[in-house]
Amino acid sequence: MNSSRLHLSNVRLCEPGNPLHNQAVDVVIEGGVFQKVQAHVPGAIPADMPENLTLAPGLFDFQASGGEPGFEERELIGTLCDAALAGGVTELNYMPALEPVTDNRSAVEALLHKTSSLPITVHPVGAISVKTEGKDLAELYDMAKAGVLSFCDDKSPVKNTLLLHLALPYTEISGGMLMLHAEDAGLHHGGLMNEGEMNVRLGLKGTPAMSEHLGVVRAITLARYHKRPIHLNGISSAGSVALIEAAKAEGLEVSCSVYSHHLLFTEAQLSEFNTSFKVWPPLRADDDREALISGLKRGIIDVVCSDHRPWNIEQKDVEFGYAAFGTCGVQTLWNATLKALGDEELTIELLSRKPRKLLGLPETLISEGQAAECFVYNANSIFTFSEAMNRSKSSNNAFFGQEFKGQIQMVSTWRGWQYVR
């Protein structure tokens, strides 16, 4: 990262709620802090800037996985950081399914120490149960005191409802949001993709969307009983959107996210058995994809995240049935979401302001004296994301070959700034 003085002249500001939103601005960044943010004055800052540049607040990826510690062959924290920066992400939630699992204070403190010098802010997510096995409650209170903001057993749906029944009132004491993967594990039954006409045509075992719906109903019931907030990770179906919409209309504290790959792709992508499209929850029908986009535009779905899930080649370049679930996506989170929604302001709201609000974190304001957490993109540039552009250590990426708009040029964090193109 470069901590020297950076001048930005005559760039458009995209930050809904900022008095200078959608105006041309001049900005000076030094030492990771906004020293000057003002309406553009010709000649006020000597800078030869390309046209069509836009300045936006840094993004927050609400769900990203790495491989360190324990699975360094998949992803290092450093390579995850590189991919995140290239995608305009300056903060992220780091999922707990590691070795050892992040289920105690020592593991949290070790991660915080390891990531303290990185240019992005990494928030370790604590496991709900010991080793994410769904049997014994993890050290929620101690992890919260160490700085954990949320708890999740990653892709485990926590079969033991009693454990969630105990965990919810516990979080009222410890603090921290409970995040759940919505699924009835009994209905997974070895499914490789969405159950429907497509899985029959491809000869692959399917799991019905009803499995997710039952998981959503359980979470809503728990939220209603305990009057405590619950967040549902990565919903993927029209039925889930409808259930959450009804819960919010009832006044329940239920929030949810959607993964960026579910906004662009459907089960039709599996026709060539490309394992990069083997994800969980599975890609569903186009009606589901449209319902997810509608849910974002209507405020039913709260955030978009990448569910960045790197795998080494031995776990992906195999027969479809044996391949691991997941795709990389942190580097394309901004571009994929923008492509799906076609709305810069809404995309910034969903990727920057709302994630931080859900976790009770302060906004990353583009104003004088604030930490310079931001990125600059060319609003009119069109590019194709290629494997040569990949910053992750792994290459299981469903977004290779996708044409995107709004290529990121540079990113700034509290540690300085750097060009990423």
Distance CA 308, CA 63 (A): 7
For the chain, where do the domains classified as CATH 2.30.40.10 start and end? 6-55+367-381+403-419
pLDDT in the model for residue 387: 97
What is the residue type of 307? D
364, two tokens: 């990353």
pLDDT in the model for residue 323: 98
Residue 44 has pLDDT above 80, yes or no: no
Distance CA 214, CA 233 (A): 14
Which superfamily, per CATH, for 6-55+367-381+403-419?
Answer: Urease, subunit C, domain 1 (2.30.40.10)
pLDDT in the model for residue 164: 96
**What amino acid positions are annotated as catalytic residues?**
307
For the chain, where do the domains classified as CATH 3.20.20.140 start and end? 58-358
Residue 204 has pLDDT above 70, yes or no: yes
Query: Mean pLDDT across the stretch 275-291?
Result: 98
Question: Which long-range CB contacts under 8 A does 218-221 form with residues at least 24 apart?
Answer: 218/161, 218/182, 218/184, 219/180, 219/182, 219/254, 220/244, 220/247, 220/252, 220/254
Query: Mean pLDDT across the stretch 344-358?
Result: 97
Please check whether the domain covering 58-358 is classified as CATH 3.20.20.140. Answer: yes
Instruction: Compute CA distances 324 → 52, 343, 407, whole Å.
Output: 41, 33, 30
Q: Could you count the other beta carbons within 10 Å of the beta carbon of residue 214? A: 19
Task: For 90-135, write each residue's pLDDT tens digit.
Answer: 999 999 999 999 999 999 999 999 999 999 999 999 999 999 999 9
Query: Mean pLDDT across the stretch 203-212?
Result: 97
What 3-state class would DSSP assign to 260? helix
pLDDT in the model for residue 46: 63
Query: Mean pLDDT across the stretch 166-183?
Result: 93
Phi-psi region of 154 (alpha: psi -120 to 50; beta: other; left: phi over 0): left
Beta-bridge mates of residue 410: 376, 419
pLDDT in the model for residue 47: 61
Among 41-50, 136-145, 150-159, where is mean pLDDT lowest?
A: 41-50
pLDDT in the model for residue 99: 97
* Exposure letters 316-333 (e unless 16+ CB within 10 A, then b): beeebeebbbbbbbbbbb
pLDDT in the model for residue 419: 85
Indicate the average pLDDT of the chain. Answer: 95
Residue 43 has pLDDT above 90, yes or no: no
DSSP state of 58: P
In degrees, rounded to 5, the angle at the alpha carbon of residue 409 between the alpha carbons of residues 407 and 415 is: 135
